[in-house]
Structure 1
Amino acid sequence: MEYHPKRSLSNFIHEERNAVLSPTNISMEFLEEKRELDLQFSPAMPSSPLATMHKLMAPPSPESPWKLSPLQTPSPSLLYHCIASLHRHEGNIYSIAVSKGVAFTGSESNRIRVWRQPDGMETGYLKTNCGDVRAILAHGNMLFTSHKDHKIRLWNFTVSDSFRSEKVASLPRRSSFLFLPRTNTQQHKDCVSCMAYYHAEGLLYTGSHDKSVKAWRISDKECVDSFVAHEGNINAIVVNQDDGCVFTCSSDGSTKIWRRVYRENSHTLTMTLKLQPSPVNALALSTSFNHCFVYSGSSDGTINFWEKERVSCRFSHGGFLQGHRFAVLCLAAIEKWIFSGSEDTTIRIWRRDERGCYHECLAVLDGHRGPVRCLAACLEMEKVVMGFLVYSASLDQTFKVWRVKVLPDENMCFDYLDQTDSRTNITEYDISPVLSPASWEEKNLQDDCFYQ
C-alpha cells in the first residue's frame, strides 16, 4: 500500500465521515490500512524477554492509572498517565507557558487561566480587555501575552499562598503612538503568533502573521528592530541562550537563522533551512553537552532536525522523525527529550541518543479527541526516577496534565545484546482512531493561524 504523508486531517474526516466512532465498529478495511501504516512507521522488537518484563512491570490492577509505553524497544521503559483533564467553555486554548510552579493557558477568551503544579488545580486568572491569546511566554516572574489587538502585554506575578499578578505595560507603549514619528513600525499589523526571550540582553522577540519579527528591549519597552523574515506567516520563534541566535519558521516552508549584529540592534540572516514546501508549524531547540539541535515540525507530519557543527558552527541536516499521521502543530524539548503534538490527536515522546544521530519514540499519549494545538513540558525528579510534567491543549477544548516517569537503566534486568540483530517490523501500538467532528473540518478551512 502506498502511503501519502501529506494527506490532511480534513480529507481523512471526509473519507470516514460515515464511520461509527466506536473502535469495535470500525470497518475492517480501515483497520487493515491502519495496521499497514503502523508497520511502515516503526521497527520494533519482536516477542522477547523484554515483553515478559513489560508484563512484570505492568500496573498490578486494572484500577491503576499508570500505563506502560507500548513501544517494545531496548530503551528504559516509560510510564505515563493523565493526572488532570480540564474543560472550560471558553473556546480553544492556543498557548501554554510554565514557570514558578504554575502553568498559564491562553484561549479565545479574555481570561488567562493559572493552574497549579502538579495537580492542575486552578489557582487564579489574569483578566484583560482583549482576548484571543495566541502566544504566552513566561520567564521567572515575568509573563508576556499576545492579544487580538496585535499588542503584547507584560505582567509581573507572584506565587505563594495565592496567585497575584500586576500588568506592567503594553507593547508598543501608548506614548509611542503619541510622540514617535515611526508609529507604523512599532506595532504588528496581524496576529502575533509566537514569542521568545533572550535572557542575557533582555530582548523579547515577537513573530507575526504579518511576516515580520520585532525585537523589544524590555528595560525601556522600546522596539529596537523590525524586519520582514519570511514570505508567509511566522508560526514559531526560539532563541539560543548560548549565542543569541534567533530561529524562525513559517508557512512558506522554511526555517531561518538570524544573528544580531555586534554592538547594534539590527539582525542579519545567516542560514536558511528548507527541505520541502510543506508549511513549518513548530520549532524546538535542544542544547546539551556542547551539542545544539533545532527541530521543526511540518504539516506533512515529519519532524526534521539539524545539528550545529562544532567547527563551522553551521547547521547540517541530521534526519527526520516520522510517526505522526498528520501535521505536527507543536514541539517542546528538554535536553535530549523531544515532545511533539499533532493534528492526529496524539503526543509523542522521543529520546535522542548520546551520538545525536538516532532518535526513538518511547511513548504515544493518545488521550485527546482533537488536534493537539499546543504543549509545554518541565522536568520532574523523584528520587532516582526521572520524570516530566507535560501540559497539552487540543481543539477538543480540553487541557490535560500528564505525568511521565522514565525508569532508570539499572531496572532493566535483561540482556539485549542479541535482540538488536533480530528486529522485525511489528505493529508499534494499537491506536483507537478518533475522528474529528465536522466543525473541525470547517475550522481547518477558516483558521489561517494553522495553514495557508
Structure 2
Amino acid sequence: MSRGDSPSLPPKTSTNGIMHNNSNPNLSSSFPASSDDESIGRSSNFSGYDPNDRTSGEASPILMSPWNQASPFQPSPWFTTGIDNSKNGAQQSGQSDGLVGSLVREEGHIYSLAATGDLLYTGSDSKNVRVWRNLKEFTAFKSNSGLVKAIILSGDRIFTGHQDGKVRVWKKNRKDPRNHKRIGTFPTLFDILKYSMRPKNYIEVKRKCTTLWIKHCDAISSLSIDEEEGLLYSGSWDRTFKVWKMSSSKCLESIKAHEDAVNSVVSTKSGLVFTGSADGSVKVWKREGSGKSMKHNHVETLLNQECAVTALAVAETGLFVYCGLSDGLVNFWEWEKQLSHGGLLKGHKLAVLCLTAAGNLLFSGSADKTICVWKKEGNVHNCLSVLTGHTGPVKCLTVERDAGKSSEEVKWVVYSGSLDKSVKVWNVSEKSPEKSMEKLPDRSTEKLPERSTEKLPEKKMGVM
C-alpha cells in the first residue's frame, strides 16, 4: 500500500455508493486472548524449515484451498529462475521488461512483502520472515505464533502483523545485517496487565465477546505508517483499526470502523486515514489532536455497496485513491475534485487482492493469478500490460524504483507474492510494454453512472 503526499480533505456534502455482485467467502473466527509466549530480545538468523509447523493458520479458511494441500515431496531449497547469477544473482543492466526471476520454496503461501534498497522481506503462513539480498536468500527470523499477514519497514525496524492479532517489532543489527532481534510486541505484556485490572477497559466485539480495547481479537490484515507523526496503524478482521505510538509501543486509540472485517488501512501525510472493509465500504477518517487527546473522526464514506473492499492504495502524488473489490474491479477517486469518483478500472476476472502505486503506475494483483499494470495520464488510466506467470492468486505486491536507470527512463522492480508459494520479480517500465508482457488494450477506465447510497445487508468476507 502506498502513502500519498496528499492535501487535506475538502468539505463535501454528498456520499456515493455503487452496486456489484457479491462473492461470499467465509470470515475467519476470532482468536481468543492469549499471552505472548516469546522472549523479547531474542536474536535469530536461522534458515530452517519445519513442515509440521503450521498451527498458526488453523483458523484461516484459506487452508481449505487447493493451493494449501500437503506436498508429497521433501521441501526443496530456495531456487531462482531467469536470473543471471554471474553478478551475485542480480539482473544485468540490459535486462528487458518482464519476468526477471522466481523465488520458490515449499514452505507456505506468501502473504506479505516489503522491500528497501537491496533487501526483500517475505512473510508466509510458516511464521518465517525470509530476507533476500540480490534475489538470494540472505537470512531469516521467526515468530513463535501467528502467520505473517503484513510487513512494513521504518528505518532499521521491521513491523510484522500476524494472524494472532499482534504486531511484532524487529530491529536489524547495523554491524551484522543478517541478525534481526525482536525488540517488542504491540501491545506489550505490561500494558495488557495494566489495562486488564479495570472493567471499563473492556469493549464488546463481534459475537458478544469482550476484550481489552488495546488488543486486536482477530487477525491483523494491514499495516500503515505515518513517519512524520511516528504512528503505526493496524487494521484487523475484528472490525477495528488501532493507532500506535511507535516510540513507546502504546495504543493511543482504537476505532470501531466497520460492520465487518477491515481488510486495508492506509494513512496519508495530511492526517487522513482510509479504511476498506468486507462490509463493502471505504471510509475516510481525519486525525485531530495529538498524544492522549488524539482522535480520528469519520468524515466521509466514499463507497457503500455490496462487493467486499479487498485492498486500498493512495498514489504517490496524492491525487488518486484506489480501491480493489471482490468482483475484480478497481475504483478510484480524485483529490482535486473533492474525492469525487473518477471511474472503474476493468482488468481482472476475479477478486483484486492487492494494490500498490508507484510513479505514474498502479499495480493490481488478483485471484485470477495476474497483475495488471495501469498507467495514469491525467485522470485516464490505461492498462499497459498484464504480468502472467503465477499459478495461484497474487496476494501481495511491493515496488522499488530501479536505481540503475537514468532519470529519463522511469523503471520499477516489482515483487509479487502468491498463494502458489512463490515470489516473482519483474522489471516494468513506464514506457510501452515489451513483447514479454501481454498487452490488453481493452482494459481501461470506465466512468460510472449515478450510484445508489442504500446500505445493503451485512456480509462475511475477510481477505486471506
TM-score by length of 2: 0.69
Aligned to 1:450: 463
Residue identity opposite 1:134 in structure 2: K
User: Which whole-Å CA distance do the structure 2 matches of 1:79 and 1:350 have between them?
Assistant: 19
Aligned to 1:399: 423
User: Which whole-Å CA distance do the structure 1 matches of 2:172 and 2:302 have between them?
Assistant: 38
Give CA deviations for 1:309-340 in whole Å, capped at 9, x if unaligned.
36xxx311011111111111100001321000
Structure 1 residues 408 and 192: alpha-carbon distance in aligned structure 2, compared to 1, 3 A threshold: closer
Residue identity opposite 1:365 in structure 2: L
Structure 1 residues 277 and 89: alpha-carbon distance in aligned structure 2, compared to 1, 3 A threshold: same
Which among 69, 91, 109 is matched to residue 108 of structure 2? 91
Stretches of structure 1 that go unaligned for 5 or more consecutive residues are 11-16, 18-63, 67-77, 410-425, 430-446
Give CA deviations for 1:204-235 in whole Å, capped at 9, x if unaligned.
11110000111011121110100100011100
Residue identity opposite 1:296 in structure 2: C
Structure 1 residues 318 and 186: alpha-carbon distance in aligned structure 2, compared to 1, 3 A threshold: same
Is the CA contact 2:223–2:233 (under 8 Å) kept in the aligned structure 1?
yes
Q: Does 1:106 align with 2:123?
A: yes
Give CA deviations for 1:60-96 in whole Å, capped at 9, x if unaligned.
xxxx999xxxxxxxxxxx9522222122122211111
Residue identity opposite 1:325 in structure 2: K
User: Which whole-Å CA distance do the structure 2 matches of 1:80 and 1:350 have between them?
Assistant: 15
Q: Does 1:373 align with 2:395?
A: yes
Which among 327, 339, 346 is matched to residue 300 of structure 1? 327
Aligned to 1:157: 172
User: Which whole-Å CA distance do the structure 1 matches of 2:225 and 2:361 have between them?
Assistant: 21
Is the CA contact 2:24–2:461 (under 8 Å) kept in the aligned structure 1?
no
Which among 326, 329, 334 is matched to residue 353 of structure 2? 329
Shift of 1:164: 2.4
Aligned residues: 342
Which among 185, 209, 214 is matched to residue 237 of structure 2? 209
Question: What are the equivalent positions in structure 2 for 1:22-61 lying under 5 Å apart?
Answer: none
Residue identity opposite 1:172 in structure 2: P
User: Which whole-Å CA distance do the structure 2 matches of 1:255 and 1:335 have between them?
Assistant: 23
Is the CA contact 1:113–1:126 (under 8 Å) kept in the aligned structure 2?
yes
Stretches of structure 2 that go unaligned for 5 or more consecutive residues are 1-19, 26-65, 67-81, 85-94, 203-211, 434-438, 443-459
Aligned to 1:251: 278
Is the CA contact 1:284–1:294 (under 8 Å) kept in the aligned structure 2?
yes
Is the CA contact 2:223–2:235 (under 8 Å) kept in the aligned structure 1?
yes
User: Which whole-Å CA distance do the structure 2 matches of 1:428 and 1:369 have between them?
Assistant: 23
Is the CA contact 2:164–2:220 (under 8 Å) kept in the aligned structure 1?
no
Alignment RMSD, CA only? 2.9
Is the CA contact 1:99–1:141 (under 8 Å) kept in the aligned structure 2?
no
Structure 1 residues 427 and 387: alpha-carbon distance in aligned structure 2, compared to 1, 3 A threshold: closer
User: Which whole-Å CA distance do the structure 2 matches of 1:7 and 1:253 have between them?
Assistant: 9
Which among 377, 380, 385 is matched to residue 363 of structure 1? 385
Shift of 1:162: 4.4
Residue identity opposite 1:227 in structure 2: I
Question: What are the equivalent positions in structure 2 for 1:371-450 lying under 5 Å apart?
Answer: 371-381=393-403, 382-383=405-406, 384-407=408-431, 428=441, 449-450=462-463
Q: Does 1:142 align with 2:157?
A: yes
User: Which whole-Å CA distance do the structure 1 matches of 2:182 and 2:356 have between them?
Assistant: 27
Is the CA contact 1:6–1:301 (under 8 Å) kept in the aligned structure 2?
no
Is the CA contact 2:23–2:307 (under 8 Å) kept in the aligned structure 1?
no
Aligned to 2:311: 282
Give CA deviations for 1:382-412 in whole Å, capped at 9, x if unaligned.
1232211111111111111112234499xxx
Aligned to 1:187: 215
Q: Does 1:272 align with 2:289?
A: no
User: Which whole-Å CA distance do the structure 1 matches of 2:174 and 2:135 have between them?
Assistant: 15
Is the CA contact 2:22–2:307 (under 8 Å) kept in the aligned structure 1?
no
User: Which whole-Å CA distance do the structure 2 matches of 1:7 and 1:205 have between them?
Assistant: 28
Give CA deviations for 1:333-353 in whole Å, capped at 9, x if unaligned.
013210000111100111111
More helix as a share of residues: 1
- SS of residue in 2 equivalent to 1:309: helix
Aligned to 2:268: 240
Structure 1 residues 93 and 230: alpha-carbon distance in aligned structure 2, compared to 1, 3 A threshold: same
Residue identity opposite 2:365 in structure 1: G
Aligned to 1:133: 148
Is the CA contact 1:172–1:223 (under 8 Å) kept in the aligned structure 2?
yes
Which among 258, 273, 288 is matched to residue 230 of structure 1? 258
Give CA deviations for 1:6-49 in whole Å, capped at 9, x if unaligned.
59699xxxxxx9xxxxxxxxxxxxxxxxxxxxxxxxxxxxxxxx
Is the CA contact 1:302–1:327 (under 8 Å) kept in the aligned structure 2?
yes
Is the CA contact 1:100–1:141 (under 8 Å) kept in the aligned structure 2?
no
Give CA deviations for 1:244-273 in whole Å, capped at 9, x if unaligned.
211110011111110112343111001001
Is the CA contact 1:232–1:251 (under 8 Å) kept in the aligned structure 2?
yes
Give CA deviations for 1:274-327 in whole Å, capped at 9, x if unaligned.
153110100010142xx52100000111100001136xxx31101111111111
Structure 1: which 4+ aligned runs deviate by more than 6 Å?
7-10
Structure 1 residues 428 and 317: alpha-carbon distance in aligned structure 2, compared to 1, 3 A threshold: closer
Residue identity opposite 1:113 in structure 2: R
Is the CA contact 1:8–1:326 (under 8 Å) kept in the aligned structure 2?
no
- SS of residue in 1 equivalent to 2:149: coil
Q: Does 1:198 align with 2:226?
A: yes
Structure 1 residues 281 and 427: alpha-carbon distance in aligned structure 2, compared to 1, 3 A threshold: closer
- SS of residue in 2 equivalent to 1:135: strand
Larger radius of gyration: 1
User: Which whole-Å CA distance do the structure 2 matches of 1:7 and 1:212 have between them?
Assistant: 22
Residue identity opposite 2:328 in structure 1: G
User: Which whole-Å CA distance do the structure 1 matches of 2:308 and 2:364 have between them?
Assistant: 16
More deviation, 271-280/210-219: 271-280
- SS of residue in 2 equivalent to 1:175: helix
Structure 1 residues 385 and 205: alpha-carbon distance in aligned structure 2, compared to 1, 3 A threshold: same
Give CA deviations for 1:404-434 in whole Å, capped at 9, x if unaligned.
234499xxxxxxxxxxxxxxxx9749xxxxx
- SS of residue in 2 equivalent to 1:385: coil
